[in-house]
Amino acid sequence: MTGSAVLIWVLIIYALWAAAGWTVFVKAGQAGWKSLIPLYGTYVLLKIVGRPGWWLLLFLIPGVNFVVWLFVALDLAKSFGKGTGFGIGLIFLSIIFYAILGLGSATYVGPAGPDAPTT
């Protein structure tokens, strides 16, 4: 595969990721452009799923960031009315399941879904 072919594939994947992220944010009542800004998009995603903003710092710690992503992915699935199986899909096949959330018929039901504990 030539360098230009790899570049084309990378751009296609990035475009899909950007479109899915944009629509997930819009469905959650946020401006879509926020999903495109590194770190800030993650901070807004934490707010969408009902997690505190300081969790952004946990994403910066190697190893811990994977564990945090597990919780965020499961909460994102619940926030769109999906189950644990969908959350596992978000963990292991992120781009595909993120596209299903953003570009499919899923609707935002609130931070971590209707059965989230209130504080």
Mean pLDDT of 61-80: 95
Q: How many residues does the chain have?
A: 119
Mean pLDDT of 68-96: 94
What is the residue-averaged pLDDT of the chain?
Answer: 91
CA distance 70 to 54: 16
More confident residue, 101 or 119: 101
C-alpha gyration radius of the chain: 15
**Which pLDDT value is given to residue 117?**
47
38: Cβ contacts below 8 Å, ≥ 6 apart: none
Residue 79 has pLDDT above 90, yes or no: yes
